[in-house]
Structure 1
Amino acid sequence: MNLGPACDRRRKNAAMTVLVTGAGGFIGRWLLDVLRRRNVRIVACFHHRSQAPVSAAGVEYARGDITDRAWVAKVLDRYRPDRIVHLAARSLVGPSWENPRDTCRVNVLGTVNLLEELRNIGFGGRLLLACSSAEYAAPDPPRPLLESDRLWPASIYGMSKLLADQMAQIYGSRYGLDILRVRPFFLIGPGKRGDVASDFAQGIVSIERGLSRRLLVGNLHPVRDFLDVRDGVEGLVTCLDRGVSGQVYNICSGRGVPVQELLGEFIAQARSPVEVVGDPSRVRSHDEPYKVGDPSRIRSLGWSPHYTLEQSVAAILEYWRAQPVDQLREQG
């Protein structure tokens, strides 16, 4: 893994240090898995109230809170990273409406804390900031979104990520920091909770185990750009390695999939008959009808997705089939 010549000159005989915030989250855990296969020293930062990532050789762990600026300064001073991947965030749209203060505190203040400390120490490495496709305005007419398209979030979560995105741009240009940003679309995969794919999987596994009779669903019409998290984290590493400083990259497949089609794939792989029933309480008023990205820019770096939707669904179902009964949500 080549993460830049500056680091090679500074540490000719030492492994590069990559620090990951939010390492205990869905994307963070998969990113650690990729980094462990490379010759780098990994520092996994995770929230003090979250479950620690699985211990592994070559990984050091730092438990704390990104909103605590003193803790951020301490971690940077102790580990002196060459590269940072900032994933720590409140990452679900629904809860952002219920607790906007906490969403902005983590997503905006946490990012500013990190940027301020990097400025203070004259950080000479590279920061990759995970932003979001939720920053984009809905395209009219529907079409894949370019990184240059209008940013106008439809949720508090999206606005918090937009503010963090723009703060990173300002710090990069004003203070000469090597910062690039990524806007992942809808990453799905084993271990994620609270999204439509995991909801479908939990419901189907509940039916397979005889815990539920029907699968309750909400709006099946939205079109989304679903991408396997394993491809997503490879995209992160590609940008960290080859991305242009100051640039932003969509991490997406470029293919729009109606939620109805996603559900059909889950049903096709179910081990029991599935009766689908519409549930008005599951229809979210903030659902955007179409959100698909254009991956041309990240593809120019040599990245491309490898996992099919069928493979992603199979992996998600197997994950939930391995969970104990008390982890499943009973439905109808």
Structure 2
Amino acid sequence: MKLLLTGANGFVGQYVQAALPGVPLPAGLDLRAALDAAIAKIQPDTVIHLAAQSFVPASFENPRETFDINFYGTLNLLEALQSNAFKGRMLFVGSGDTYGRVPEADLPVREDHPLRPRNPYAVSKVAAEALCYQWSQTSSFEIVMARPFNHIGPGQSPRFAITDFARQVTEIRLGQHAPLLQVGDIDVTRDFTDVRDVVRAYTLLLEKGRNGGIYNVCSGREHSIRDLLQRLIALAGVEARIERDHARLRPAEQRRMVASFEALHRDTGWQPLIPMEQSLQDLLNDWEKQLQ
């Protein structure tokens, strides 16, 4: 089975490549460009569509570019697959951010919860997911859709809070930084899944997900950001003062978040296997290698 992987060079894409060696689109080929020739050359049997503009602040700065990449790039890909008589399965990777603000009474959030996107990135993912659902019903190939929540794991960009904390803690442990941790709003909760478990979910969805089916990819566990920071400090064996940096504060309207992976488990048997302690330790080990 030949797998076409978009977004192969991203954080998750690299883990997909390690687990399911796939063929990336040619280097430098933009999803917004004509893709017919590339698809004709690859002739894939399956597709995982990861490529996206996924940084929320950038989506506010340039919503049109975000929509061009995430919606029209997806449409371009679908049309290129169709024109090359693709008959396999595609996994579209959306986002748990599409739910928007979820009342605490509705947690854990399930796939039938209304979508109320609150930023241009989430809007683009809602639109692209709707497009993929339509194509799953009317085209010659099948499409399964994933809504992943927060990821964690080695190799993630320090633009993300837990990875940034792991970097700061490691710098303190190596004597490269004063024992002071700069943080934003850490008194919120989020649902984190190890990236390796996420990739395993994608593999199973490609194989066993229902055509037109939409699946949360999440741990089903609610983690306090403050608690994860304190666990990183304990694992590294350091002492550090925590200081709120106002430059890092973003308005977190969603104080608590946890989702349900019941549908994913029902259709594929998937459940998260990697404990949070291992994810955090692997993050610290990865930063130690990078910073030494």
TM-score by length of 1: 0.83
Question: Contact between 2:102 and 2:254, CA under 8 Å: does it hold in 1?
Answer: no
Alignment of 1:156-171 (within 5 A): 156-171=120-135
- What do residues 37-93 of structure 1 show as CA deviations (whole Å, max 9, x unaligned)? xxxxx2123xxxxxxxxxxxxxxxx213333432x2121100100000000011222
Q: Structure 2 stretches of 5 or more lacking a match?
A: none
Question: Contact between 1:82 and 1:126, CA under 8 Å: does it hold in 2?
Answer: yes
Residue aligning to 1:251: 217
Q: Which moved more, 1:236-245 or 1:281-290?
A: 281-290
Question: Contact between 1:218 and 1:278, CA under 8 Å: does it hold in 2?
Answer: yes
Residue aligning to 1:290: 256
Q: Does 1:309 align with 2:276?
A: yes
Residue aligning to 2:141: 177
Question: Contact between 1:67 and 1:105, CA under 8 Å: does it hold in 2?
Answer: no
* Runs of 4+ residues deviating >4 angstroms: none
Question: Contact between 2:187 and 2:226, CA under 8 Å: does it hold in 1?
Answer: yes
Q: Does 1:74 align with 2:37?
A: yes
Q: Distance in 2 between matches of 1:147 and 1:66?
A: 31
Residue aligning to 1:53: none
1:33 to 15, 18, 22: 18
Q: CA RMSD in A?
A: 1.5
Q: Does 1:143 align with 2:107?
A: yes
SS in structure 2 of the partner of residue 84 of structure 1: strand
Q: Structure 1 residue 132: deviation in Å? A: 0.3
Q: Distance in 1 between matches of 2:155 and 2:72?
A: 27
Q: Distance in 2 between matches of 1:82 and 1:228?
A: 27
Q: Structure 1 residue 169: deviation in Å? A: 1.1
**Bigger helix share:** 2
Q: Does 1:210 align with 2:210?
A: no
Question: Contact between 2:186 and 2:224, CA under 8 Å: does it hold in 1?
Answer: yes
Residue aligning to 2:55: 92
TM-score by length of 2: 0.94
Q: Structure 1 stretches of 5 or more lacking a match?
A: 1-15, 37-41, 46-61, 326-332
Q: Structure 1 residue 279: deviation in Å? A: 1.2
Question: Contact between 2:184 and 2:245, CA under 8 Å: does it hold in 1?
Answer: yes
Residue aligning to 2:239: 273
SS in structure 1 of the partner of residue 9 of structure 2: coil
Q: Does 1:262 align with 2:228?
A: yes
Q: Distance in 2 between matches of 1:235 and 1:110?
A: 24
- What do residues 127-183 of structure 1 show as CA deviations (whole Å, max 9, x unaligned)? 100000000132222511111111011222111111111111122223243011001
Note closer, same or farther for the CA distance 1:151–1:34 as it changes in structure 2 (3 Å cut): same
